[in-house]
Amino acid sequence: MRPIKLTLSAFGPYGGVESIDFREATEAGLFGIYGPTGSGKSSIFSAIAFALFGEGAKEEQGIGTMRSDFATDALLTEVSLQFELGAKRYYVRRIPDQPRPKTRGEGQTMQPHAAWLFDVSSVAIDDVGPDCCGVPLAERKVGDVARLVEELLGYGAQQFRQIVLLPQGRFERFLVSNSKDRLEILRELFDVSLYRKLTEKLKVDAADIRREIEDGYRLNGQRLAAEGFASSDELSAGIASALEQYELSRLAVAETSAVLTLANNAFAAAVSQEKLFVEVDAAGAALEQLEGKLPEFDAVRARKSCAELARRMADLDSSLTDARKRHAAAVTAQASASDAEVRARDAASAAIALLADLRSQEHEIETLARKIDEMGRHKQVLVDSTERLAEHEKALGALDSAKQGHDQAVADQQQAERAFEEKSAAFAAAQRDALERQGLIGRRDKLKIELGGAQAHLSATQALEKAQAEYDAAAAAALDAQTRHHHAGEEDAARESDYISAQASVLAERLEDGVPCPVCGGSDHPQPAHGTGDAGLLEKAWRGAQSASIAAAKIDREAQSRASSAKATLEARQATVSDLVVPQRGISEIDTEYQHALAAIDKLGGVADVTLLAKEVDEFRDRKLTTATKLQQANSTLGDATTVEALSRQGYADRIASVPETLRDSNVLQAAIDAARADLDRRKKAITDALEQQQSSQAARIKAEALLQNASASLNDCADAVERKQAEFESRLIELGISETAYRSAIPDIDLIGELEGSIVEFDKDLAAARGRQTAARNAVGSAQRPAMEPFRLSCNQAQVAADDASRHSAEAQQKHRSLVDLQTSLADELKNLQSLEQSSGSLRGLAEAFDGQNELRTTLETFAIGAMFDQVLEAANLRLDPMTGGRYRFERDTVSVGGRSKRGLDVRVHDIQTGRAREIITLSGGETFIAALSLALGLSDVVEMTHGAIRLDTIFIDEGFGSLDTENDAGTLDQVLQVLQDIVGERRSVGLISHVPLVQQAVPNGFSVRKGVSGSVIESRLQ
């Protein structure tokens, strides 16, 4: 990404437009932005960050100043930026949220944050503006613009400040941050989510397999425990024992079966003997029962004889009954004919009287006909006045419509008045709330600044106290380590001297006069050495003291380094505290007042748009006037409709004056006509019906008299027939010698004669058979004795119980043996499967553990990948650091010991060639720290662009830090840094420097100058 042109509108207290054209500067490669401290140089890049991502407007000084200075200006603060990305050029424009004057009335309202993004590749750079924007990609929606910008660039606001814009001091914080914080930053820059997802997938798969194996072994143990076995060997022993029990149970089954067979045979013989005696008892009981029924069957024989006599009387009895029925029917018919004759005579008299009455009312028929003719004339009048009636009904409809319109106009006018009053009240309340909110927001912002300063001072003070304590502890440890080092050195020298003396004494013992000394080569030995002690032990003591001295020296160097680092940290903390303003009151007091201000703002509720409310008040006022006008028009329309309705009603009344009021409704009149005609027809029909009724009733009376005479004759004939049949019936009773009562009692048995005869025959047959059965049963028993059955039955039951128990025990033993064998087979198969699964999944589980950090380096796959990328960053950074420091320093990753194992984290040290050992970052001087941070930032930018295809870093910016170089080695360090930056420019990108150092301005003349004045800062181009 290469910035082309930045424009800040309404910048400063007096408005105006400030534009920065980067074209020639970026083409020059290395350029600068120079100005005195506090001139707002960094606000230019804050504006770039805000234009791209819409973030930092409240935190960055430039945008914040730009917005706060604008409080009373009539223009809107606006930031726009053109930038190149490859062959494309884009234009992003933003208006931050800010107060602005209302369009109507006094006061201010809030302008919401808005953003636009355009493709302006086909538009000339100088022609691009709000009115010439090229192809729109996203408009007004802040979220859409931010998302598209991030997709185009390949990074967000956080990464922008880390790899594109290198703010003052920020990358130094990245340089000295711990491994955990640096890991989070690098995780965002280098997408290693694939390794994390792969590790999680392997962990889940391995956990599932491990759980399956553990569950399988646990289930096998549970199944063994459920059967009462602790191991597979016990299960095998249990199977053998179960088989032995099964064989024993089979022998018991055979023995109990033989006993049961003997008992059953004895019981069967006893049962056969008992059956003979049972048959004797049964035959005697059956005979006794039949002989007891002899009286009953004698009675049956008597019933059969009576029934046969009654059957001979049945024909005469039936004839007598029929004669009596015919006589009763004749009596009923004679009575009915007599009643019918009386009714017919009465009906004829009534018909004659009704006909006479109707004939006396014939004059009313003529009157009714004249009335119908008169109502016909009224109907014609109504027909002739139909047009007048239609006019009146139309006038009535118009009157109703006018009344409804008048009522609606009244309701609309009242509603408009109420709405106008409510909206006016809301507008007044919103104006009051806006004024109060503006005062509260100003008070809140001041309290927030004061609270932030107090919290910063408190944090800095606490950090200073902690740094002081750490320095005191480090200094004490350094002094102690130095003392121990001194003592260890003295001990080393003493042990070495003892060892050398012992060695010399050994050599002295072997010296001979005239023989050269093996040490000095001399032949004279005037003063041979003397010493005591075992040379081997003394050498061992010397070597131990020497190792202890070296270890103490290392501990001393490390302690001195920690003390130096702690001192540097303490001095930095002291400088931080001295730069901060001491708060005039406590944090709790400031926070309480700040919370009260927030509560007061929240109490006011949401922010009302006063301009919109004013516009709505005007709209409601216009609506009120409109409804009043419509009400006047409705009143006029109602008066006209009332007049027309009255005239039409009077004209219609005059036309139908001759028609009675009760008949002026055509429907009512027609109903009256229809009713009169129906009454006339009814009267005429009644006379005709009465004449016909009189004739038919006279004929019915004559017919009824004839029927009565016939019925009387038939009754006399039936009475004679009854007397004859009764005489014949009584003669037959005497002839058979049976009374009528006996006959009547025997009638039901007539139909049972065959059944009674059959039961008598059957009884006689059964009685003879029972007597023969008794004789045969007594002959079969003879002289034998009856056996006792209970002992035989008890013996069989006991044998059966024993046999059943033996069979059940045998089945249980067999089932137990079979189930244990099945369990052994099943467990063997399951163990084989589990062992196969455990063996086949070993590689997967081992890989999952290694990826999850369970390895010699105690490092996860994701951390390892990030570490590998970080090694590339350090290599790229060393390419910058080496020439900047004259080959003295190189970055290297630190190796720490965790639990007895080495672990490579993301901590960084610098290897000092002069001392031959690594140094902590915090031991570097200010200029060296800046160079190291700059080198690491440039290396990170190189690797990010190399590994992330979507990220292009055509231009990077470096904010300050050069002031720490201008006094070192007569600006030699600065020359080295600038030379490295010039090399970067020569490769593929532009570099912008923000500085107030004159040497930097001299070395890099191209760029911009920022002049600070009473009306704000002004930017001037410095291009050669």
Tens of pLDDT, residues 465-517: 998 998 899 899 989 988 988 898 888 888 777 777 776 776 676 677 767 77
Find the angle CA(73)-CA(79)-CA(82) to the nearest 5 degrees.
150
Please tell me the least confidently modeled range out of 78-87, 183-192, 598-607, 806-815. 183-192
Sign of CA dihedral 817, 818, 823, 826: positive
Q: pTM of this prediction?
A: 0.39
Q: What is the pLDDT of residues 381-425, one digit of tens each?
A: 777 777 777 887 888 888 888 888 888 988 888 888 888 888 888
Find the angle CA(687)-CA(692)-CA(698) to the nearest 5 degrees.
130
Q: What order do you get walking across the sheet with 917-920 strand by strand?
A: 889-898, 901-912, 917-920
* Average pLDDT of the chain, as a whole number: 78
In 717-771, at which residue ranges do the beta strands (DSSP E only) sit? none
Nearest to 102 by CA among 589, 434, 522, 543: 434
Nearest to 950 by CA among 420, 191, 311: 191
The pLDDT of residue 90 is 93
Q: What is the pLDDT of residues 161-182, one digit of tens each?
A: 666 666 655 566 666 667 777 6
Amino acid at 815: Q
Residue 900, pLDDT > 50, answer no
Q: What is the pLDDT of residues 134-158, one digit of tens each?
A: 888 888 788 888 889 888 887 777 7
Point out which residues pair with 139 in neighbouring strands.
Answer: 116
Binning pLDDT at 50, 70 and 90, where does residue 442 land?
confident
User: How far apart are alpha carbons 836 and 209 in whole angstroms?
Assistant: 12
Q: What is the pLDDT of residues 28-59, one digit of tens each?
A: 677 777 777 766 666 777 778 888 888 654 44
User: How far apart are alpha carbons 863 and 871 in whole angstroms?
Assistant: 12
Structure-block tokens of residue 184: 């989070």
CB 701 within 8 A of CB 341: yes
Q: Give the three-state DSSP class for 376.
A: helix
Question: Going by DSSP bridges, is the β-strand pair 955-959/165-166 parallel, antiparallel, or unpaired?
Answer: parallel
- Residue whose token pair is 């037959």: 732
Residue 804, pLDDT > 70, answer yes
Largest CA distance in the chain: 206
Radius of gyration of the chain (CA): 66
Residue 901, pLDDT > 70, answer no
Q: Which of the 8 DSSP states describes residue 852?
A: B
User: How far apart are alpha carbons 350 and 948 in whole angstroms?
Assistant: 126
Nearest to 164 by CA among 890, 976, 944: 944
Q: How far is CA 654 from CA 220, 380, 739, 815, in A?
A: 116, 15, 107, 120
Contacts of residues 554-558 at CB distance under 8 Å and 24 or more positions apart, as own/partner, are: 555/481, 555/484, 555/485, 556/478, 556/481, 556/482, 556/484, 556/485, 557/917, 558/481
| Percentage with pLDDT > 90 across the chain | 2
User: How far apart are alpha carbons 682 and 689 in whole angstroms?
Assistant: 10
495 Cβ neighbours under 8 A, 6+ residues apart: 538, 541, 542, 544, 545, 546
Structure-block tokens of residue 195: 């390794």
Exposure of 716 in the CB half-sphere (CA atoms within 13 A): 4
Residue 902, pLDDT > 50, answer no
User: How far apart are alpha carbons 76 and 10 in whole angstroms?
Assistant: 6
Question: Going by DSSP bridges, is the β-strand pair 78-85/88-95 parallel, antiparallel, or unpaired?
Answer: antiparallel
Q: What is the pLDDT of residues 521-554, one digit of tens each?
A: 666 667 776 666 666 677 778 778 878 888 888 8
Sign of CA dihedral 917, 922, 925, 929: positive
The pLDDT of residue 243 is 86
Point out which residues pair with 994 in neighbouring strands.
Answer: 33, 959
Nearest to 741 by CA among 752, 751, 733: 733
CB 881 within 8 A of CB 932: yes
Return the C-alpha torsion angle 747, 749, 751, 753, nearest 10.
-130
Residue 675, pLDDT > 90, answer no
Q: Which of the 8 DSSP states describes residue 15?
A: -
105: region left, alpha or beta (phi > 0 left; psi from -120 to 50 alpha): left
Neighbour tally for 828: CB within 10 Å:
12
Amino acid at 942: D
Binning pLDDT at 50, 70 and 90, where does residue 17 land?
low
Written as one string, the DSSP assignment of 290-335 is HHTTHHHHHHHHHHHHHHHHHHHHHHHHHHHHHHHHHHHHHHHHHH
Residue 198, pLDDT > 70, answer yes
CB 965 within 8 A of CB 973: yes
Residue 183, pLDDT > 50, answer yes
Contacts of residues 472-475 at CB distance under 8 Å and 24 or more positions apart, as own/partner, are: 473/566, 474/559, 474/562, 474/563, 474/565, 474/566, 474/567, 475/563, 475/566, 475/567
Instruction: Determine the average pLDDT of the residues in 223-246.
Output: 82
In 608-760, at which residue ranges do the beta strands (DSSP E only) sit? none
Please tell me the least confidently modeled range out of 110-124, 268-282, 814-828. 268-282
The pLDDT of residue 58 is 40
Point out which residues pair with 276 in neighbouring strands.
Answer: none
The pLDDT of residue 74 is 44
Q: Give the three-state DSSP class for 586.
A: coil
Residue 960, pLDDT > 60, answer no
CA 936 to the chain's CA centroid: 46
User: How far apart are alpha carbons 219 and 223 in whole angstroms?
Assistant: 6
Neighbour tally for 690: CB within 10 Å:
18
User: How far apart are alpha carbons 548 and 485 in whole angstroms?
Assistant: 9
The pLDDT of residue 75 is 63
